[in-house]
A and B are shown apart, each in its own frame.
Chain A
Amino acid sequence: MMRGLLVCLAVLANPAAADALTRLDPAGSQVEFTYTQMGVSLQGRFRGLTGQASFDPARPQAARARIEVPVAGIDTGLAEADAEAAGKDWFDAATHPVARFEADAVKSLGGNRYQVDGRLTLKGRTRKVSAPFTFTADARGGLFTGQFVLRRGDFAIGEGAWRDYSLVGNEVGVRFKLRLDR
């Protein structure tokens, strides 16, 4: 009886449902990207994700997310390119230190598949993005994995002499892995 009352209070105190996952685990989260350089496919990644998110598989439409990615810590897959990527022509980390994704709507695609529609802000430019993702529940919480394709030109990533898409392709594949714990 007493325990039941406490659960009730907890649910009332937390506007998200009691089952919602809300704690972002930075160690278990990362954003990978795939790009082409003169026909060569290369992979890089961002780590150190922060932000707030809430997801309850029973009520996906109530999900919220605001994820921030520090761009200075970019790993391009090429040691020489990392410093360049943080510079003015690319991510301009000094002026725009974080990339941000804000979810506007999440809907179920059936099974453990969902789709998120939201806004991605990179280098001060905001564009709408949609990404299908898969949610895998486990004992601690769950893992979200999904992907979408963006055009670096839409965000002025790689300006000046780097604008040439025959050198570094315009299309960049983005694969995200996000861990939320209870």
Chain B
Amino acid sequence: MWQMLKMEFKRSFRVKFLIALLVEIALVVSNVILEMLPEAKFMGTSRYWLKQDSPYSAFGWWIGGTPFYLQQYLYFFLMPVIAAFPCADSFFSDLKSGYIKNILVRTKKIKYYGAKYLAVFIVSGLTVVIPMLLSFGITAMIFPTIIPEPTLAKFPVSVTHMWSVLYYTRPFLYTFGYMAIDFIYGGLFAAVALTMTYYLEYRFVVLASPFLLALFLNSVLNLFNLQSYSPLSFISPGADCSTTFTIVACEALLLLLITTGVFFGKGLRKDTY
């Protein structure tokens, strides 16, 4: 299993992983250059204190901390595509090229499918989280990590928002907790693409499937005013969305059960040859 896993990781951390990271880092860096630095240069000056009645906080400025900027919106909106891009189509390639047949004569099915799922999940999760960590690190170098003050009403997290108490008391825990959620959802989006491989004919459709499903689900939930159930709404830590941890956890569990159930169930039963 370990050897299989090692091999899958080796296949996953390639150019496509770097491209996905570069796209996301470009969003993070442009957010810093276009939005943060112009504000930061006035810090400590009289203009700053005329405009602001409290100092800026890094928790309200990093890529996941604000709902105002284009880069922030794009980062989380494109998350299902970017997460799936590095390696969610590797199973598709294995099936189409016949590579899977060469692997399965040398190892057990469960080892191959287990390693594939785990590697895709972890690599996709990392694709999402690494630029977030970078963004938070850069922001913390520019703005102080002051605890957000709820009475100022200048922070996007409202009372009805998930973990709002944590945000205003232990913001580090909130930020890293949300990154953990995004890691899991990044992995799950890629797992959806992995599972859809069984049903779809073309690579493009496989890779676009998590994004399209998320978009479609978002619209249908919008129809019934249930935006708080839409992953596209709640994956952003700073988005204006009143969700609860139960919803986030239950949806993640449901997605995990469906994707593992279909991926392993179909894979183990299906005759590869």
A complexed with B: no
- Residues of chain B touching chain A, judged by Cβ–Cβ distance below 8 Å, are none
